[in-house]
Amino acid sequence: MKTAASPGAAAGRRASPGAAAGLQARAAELREAISYHNDRYYNAAEPEIPDADYDALVDELRALEAEHPELAVAGSPTEQVGAPITTLFAPAAHKVPMMSLDKVVNMDELLAWGRRLERLLEMAPEDAAALRFVCEPKIDGLSISITYEHGELVRAATRGDGRVGEDVTQNVRTIGEVPARLELPPGEIPTEIEVRGEVYLPLAAFEELNARQQAAGLRLFANPRNAAAGSLRQRDPSITASRALGLWAYQVVSADVLAQGTRVEAAGEGDAAAELTNQSGSLELLRRAGFPVNGETALVTGLDAVYAYCADLQERRHSLGYEIDGAVVKLDDISLHRSLGATSHAPRWAVAYKFPPEERTTLLEDILVSIGRTGRATPFARLRPVRVGGSTVSLASLHNEDQVALKDVRPGDTVIVRKAGDVIPEVVGPVLSMRPEGVLPWRFPSECPLCGGQLVRLEGEADTYCVNFDCPGQKVQRVAHFASRSAMDIEGLGEQRVAQLIDAGVIGDAADFYDVRADDLYGLEGFGEISARNLVAAIDASRKRPLPNLLVALGIRHVGSTVAQALADGFGDLDHIMAASEEELASVEGIGPVIAASVAHFFASGANLAFVERLRGGGVSFGTRAVSELPRLLEGKSVVVTGTLAGWSREEAEAAITGRGGKSPGSVSARTTAVVVGSSPGGAKLARAKELGVPILDEAGLAKLLETGELPG
């Protein structure tokens, strides 16, 4: 199986004989690949490639068959849904086929779908504008059909190939959210009703399951969908029962709502399902009958509102607690479902609005090693650029030697790349069936790629280090760190600029910044008179940075912004910190023995003390703030400030909080005591505070809190 997932050469309408043979071969190759991946997905419940790559294969084959009808063959995977069933479970034929959904990926395609509805329903545009749609999250789990007779659960089946699924009744009975009996008044119980929905694993349960798997030395599941499928398709229902599976019910199939026309059985007397005329009513019935119906579902009018729903859901997709891969848009009016019917694989009355994929495959071109400011050598992947999670990814960290071995990724592999939301891109693992022959495991280099010095991995540690303090790679990183935002914040000094200044001999280390004159810069590549003067001014401004910034800039192990703030609060200036013993350091709130030892160790080094003295000579402020003698009214409290306050700068407000023993972090969590909101606050912080029910204060509320230590009543 070595079929590239990317679409092949564009198919021309009238192909030459040679090209025709090529197209035929490509179609055969695509069919083979699709069947193989169907089997991995549906039968082994262990797909090898992301859905988006699978979809690309199907899309390519579908386009090829549409352009060249002579290439279409009976039983092509483009006509099928899912995969043939296995022998693990008894077959269960679906009375109404379980279909797939056509997809759209943007507003234009959504509007084109709308125009098709308008045409098929022979509607005037103004009537079409009044069409109502039910919008639902597209749950990334596996679809299930559950049949009730006279209100009792009698059968549950997976989708299988859409016509015949697997009988998983015993397993589905163990899912707590699936009612064993419909909770409807006796008069409303239908003779027979089929409920369809998605079995899924909530993210928290997925993480817990993988933690258990790891502890037991068992294989980890790649994602919640695979874990849900693996959990449902168990021979032993007690295993399914232990997996915290959930259900979202989203469709009713009963005698009178068969979009495909075949009557299952006459509806019973007073049958609630028989009276269903719209999808929103179906969901309401499901809710009343005791099924979980997703709360993100909405009934809207017109495609603009549908699009707004999809865009909003996409924004929030990572805060739902379960994975979704899009929205499903369904015409509300069930009579229209009947008029529209279905194609060979999908109904015409519904469409999936798919979100941009968060996993794709690409080529791992090489594994390289970068050197950080502490000398840590981090392996990273150089990837053939791929669009994933809304951006183009060409680099991804592989963290350390063990991670590379554990994932068994090798240069030359096709790998799965994942980028979800704001999370940094990750190489998930290789697609083993696509590994070319002769590809060897990667070995950690024994020499630093930048200075040629030895790379050392200490016994019991995960990381490998370049131990040459003069390594140019480390030096650039150290100096760039010194100039960075949370440190001395020297504008315009990124990694490349720093490397340039070191190479040109303008600076040897960060303390040299304070001797740089505009003349030294003028004439260097990229420096004109103005930019040279600007950089000197930016360096000058950094002389007055507050003490915590200076502490961060020194690059002491374990000293980030929070610890630096605690040290500054505890000692007031750098001289007192340098003079403090390990015990005195550890007596400060927020400083534990490890940090205290690290700080003491740093200032015990002659080289470091010499560096600090050069900074003093260069005019850098060592902090003058008196140690806080304010009452520690906010001890144990955490107060977040967002937006602009009239009477205080953000720094002043935060200092007033920390000066009284409180914390003032940059983000809101369940442990936040209160959020102080000024004008133009950060939307995310405010929204999170509201979501978590954290008290929100205005400026007067802050003043009260500072004075009394209590939240205003």
Min dist. Cβ of residue 153 to ligand IVH (A) = 20
A 10 A CB-CB count for 588 gives 19
* Residue, CB closest to ligand IVH: 143
Does residue 145 belong to the site contacting ligand IVH (CB under 6 A)? no
Express the helix, strand and coil content of the chain in percent, nearest 5 each: 40, 20, 40
The closest of 566, 605, 570, 598 to 582, measured between CA atoms, is 598
Q: Which stretch binds ligand IVH (CB under 6 A): 96-104, 298-306, 643-651, 703-711?
A: 96-104
Residue 139 lies near ligand IVH (rule: CB under 6 A): yes
Q: Give whichever of 3 and 282 is closer to ligand IVH, judged by the CB atom.
A: 282
Sequence-distant (6+) residues with CB within 8 A of 109 are: none
- Per-residue three-class SS string for 293-362: CCCCCEEEECHHHHHHHHHHHHHCHHHCCCCEEEEEEEECEHHHHHHHCECCCCECCEEEEECCCCEEEE
How many residues appear in the chain? 713
- 166 is an interface residue for ligand IVH by CB under 6 A: no
To the nearest whole angstrom, how small is the minimum distance from the Cβ of residue 99 to ligand IVH?
4
Name the residue with tokens 């193989």: 36
- Whichever of 27 and 228 has its CB closer to ligand IVH, that residue is 228
Where does this chain touch ligand IVH (CB under 6 A) — which range of 133-141, 312-320, 396-404, 584-592?
133-141
From the list 97-105, 471-479, 632-640, 678-686, the region that binds ligand IVH by CB under 6 A is 97-105
Residue 322 CB, shortest distance to ligand IVH, in Å, is 11
Comparing CB distances to ligand IVH, the nearer of 162 and 425 is 162
Cβ 429 vs Cβ 415: under 8 Å: yes
318: amino acid identity, one letter: H
**In this chain, which of 38, 143, 362, 642 binds ligand IVH, going by CB under 6 A?**
143
310 to 329: interface string for ligand IVH, x by CB under 6 A = ------------------x-
Does residue 233 touch ligand IVH according to CB under 6 A?
no
Q: What is the spatial distance between Cα 65 and Cα 71, in angstroms, rounded to a whole number?
A: 6
Question: What span, in angstroms and rounded, lies between the C-alpha atoms of 659 and 640?
Answer: 14
Q: Binder to ligand IVH among 101, 351, 450, 585 (CB under 6 A)?
A: 101
Q: Is 198 in the site for ligand IVH (CB under 6 A)?
A: yes
Give Cβ neighbours of residue 56 (< 8 Å, ≥ 6 apart).
5, 6, 7
Query: H/E element holding 534?
Result: helix 529-542
Q: How far is the CB of 19 from ligand IVH (least distance, A)?
A: 33
- Residue 671 sits at φ, ψ, to 5 deg, of -90, 0
Binding-site member from 249, 252, 350, 539 for ligand IVH (CB under 6 A): 350
Largest CA distance in the chain: 95
Look at the block and give the residue holding tokens 């008069």. Answer: 187
The pattern of x and - marking residues 410 through 449 that bind ligand IVH according to CB under 6 A reads ----------------------------------------
Contact 144, 156 (CB under 8 A): yes
From 305-313, 346-354, 394-402, 439-447, span contacting ligand IVH (CB under 6 A): 346-354
**Closer to ligand IVH at the Cβ: 137 or 430?**
137
Place of tokens 């981090």: 378
Please work out the total of residues on this chain that contact ligand IVH, with binding judged by CB under 6 A.
15
* Complex with ligand IVH: residue 163 or 625, whichever CB lies closer: 163
The two structure tokens encoding residue 153: 């659960």
Q: Which neighbouring-strand residues pair with 143?
A: 198
Neighbours of 294 (CB within 10 A): 17
Q: Is 468 in the site for ligand IVH (CB under 6 A)?
A: no
CB of 251 to ligand IVH, least distance (A): 5
3-state secondary structure at position 383: strand
| Shortest distance in whole angstroms from residue 100 CB to ligand IVH | 5
Residues 277-316, one symbol each (x = binds ligand IVH by CB under 6 A, - = not), give: ----------------------------------------
Tell me whether residue 239 or residue 346 sits nearer to ligand IVH (CB atom).
346
Q: Measured from the CB of residue 66, what is the shortest distance to ligand IVH in angstroms? A: 20
Tell me whether residue 156 or residue 367 sits nearer to ligand IVH (CB atom).
156
Single-letter amino acid code for the residue at 334: I
Please state the closest distance from residue 308 (CB atom) to ligand IVH, in A: 18
Which of 114, 179, 268, 347 binds ligand IVH (CB under 6 A)? It is: 347
For 263, other C-beta atoms within 10 Å of its C-beta total 11
Nearer to ligand IVH, 47 or 425 (CB): 47
Minimum separation from the CB atom of position 142 to ligand IVH (A): 6
Residue 442 Cβ vs ligand IVH, minimum distance, rounded to whole Å: 38
For residue 651, how many other CB atoms are within 10 A of its CB? 11
Nearest in space to 396 (alpha carbons), one of 365, 372, 373: 365
203-215 helix and 224-232 helix, angle to the nearest 10 degrees:
70
> Least distance (Å) from ligand IVH to the CB of residue 102?
9
User: Which listed range, 137-145, 170-178, 383-391, 473-481, lies at the site for ligand IVH (CB under 6 A)?
Assistant: 137-145
Based on CB atoms, which residue is closest to ligand IVH, 341 or 666?
Answer: 341
Distance CA 484, CA 479 (A): 9
Please report the beta strands in 108-233, taking only residues with DSSP state E, as ranges in sequence order.
Answer: 132-139, 142-149, 152-158, 164-166, 192-200
Catalytic annotation on 138? yes
Angle separating helix axes 699-708 and 650-659, nearest 10 degrees? 20
Q: Rounded to the nearest 5°, which phi and psi values hold at 311? A: -65, -40
| Contact between 100 and ligand IVH per CB under 6 A | yes
Helix or strand or coil: residue 576? helix
- CA 145 vs. chain centroid, Å, equals 30
Q: Near ligand IVH by CB under 6 A, which window of 11-19, 131-139, 598-606, 692-700?
A: 131-139
Q: Which SS3 state, helix, strand or coil, does residue 658 take?
A: helix
Q: Give the per-residue contact string, 239-268, with ligand IVH (x = CB under 6 A; - = no).
A: -----------xx-----------------
Among the options 103, 138, 330, 685, which is catalytic?
Answer: 138
Among 136, 271, 573, 654, binds ligand IVH (CB under 6 A): 136
Q: Cite the active site residues.
A: 138
Binding site for ligand IVH (CB under 6 A): 99-101, 136, 138-139, 143, 159, 198, 250-251, 328, 347, 350, 352
